[in-house]
Amino acid sequence: MRATEEGAAAAAARFTGRSVLGVRRLSGTLAEVTLDGGRVVMVKRGDGGPGATRAEAAGLRWLGDAGTVRVPAVHGHDEDWLVTDRVPAGRPSPEAAERLGRELAALHATGAPAFGAPPPDGLRDAYIGLAPMRNIDGTDWPRWYAEHRVLPYVRRAVDVGTLGATEAADFERVCARLPELAGPAEPPARLHGDLWNGNVLWAADGHAWLIDPAAHGGHRETDLAMLHLFGFPHLDRLLEGYQRTAPLTDGWPARIALHQLFPLLVHAVLFGRGYAEQALAAARSALVG
């Protein structure tokens, strides 16, 4: 076995207490490991900075502890590896999407101590994908969102050259107007935090399972706005399930672009100018409502 497969096998054996029968590498950072007895687990090599695996494990446990959404069980982690259950693959269905909408509404309602609060055993200096994400507590969502989710990534995008200094002014105008643009005040929700289509697994059991969280306390509309970004099967049914469980406040569709600023800016920092242009379009859309 190559070094990645050997490391994945050793991590799986260490954290499950079972011997390894085989390893199937799925990517540069992910492997499927078959254990003695036939059980299969997923082993992920930490691809962020220090503490990335700990932050992800803490997020999965925090979401799982809510007893609402389905997440794979965590077997263990160290600084390099995270071992979780495998979710057997299925197909998306309208029924699973509607059920996920109800489950997300229930998850958000379990709340968080503050905007920006990390999971109890998580990190203040965490990650969203490969990007650093600081979890700083706040009590006022517009101010917190501006200071800890929008402006830090605007500055990074300018520093790496994917945004021009004059373009940053569009985001600064949005942040200045956030108190009037944000809609009615809401309590902190327990968020998945990186809820795009690729982090939802449609399972053989007919349910949707969530993986790879950047969990923290935030505004519930942020999770839903992320689902709108890159295409999501049966999104209309998911929203129906959500609305029947915990109706969103008036005007929420007009705020989707506002909540998309955070993930789009993260993508601009990581992946370049195309996402910066999408972020600029979202900022200008938020300003006109």
Query: Catalytic residue numbers?
Result: 194
Q: Centre a 10 Å sphere on the Cβ of residue 147 and count the other Cβ atoms it contains.
A: 16
As a whole number of angstroms, the distance between CA 209 and CA 12 comes to 21
Q: Centre a 10 Å sphere on the Cβ of residue 199 and count the other Cβ atoms it contains.
A: 18
φ, ψ for residue 238, nearest 5 deg: -60, -45
Task: Pick left, alpha or beta for residue 104 (phi over 0 → left; psi -120 to 50 → alpha; otherwise beta).
Answer: alpha
**Cβ-proximal residues to 208 (8 Å cutoff; 6+ apart), any chain:** 70, 92, 96, 97, 99, 100, 103, 200, 201, 202
**Cβ-proximal residues to 201 (8 Å cutoff; 6+ apart), any chain:** 87, 89, 208, 209, 210, 211
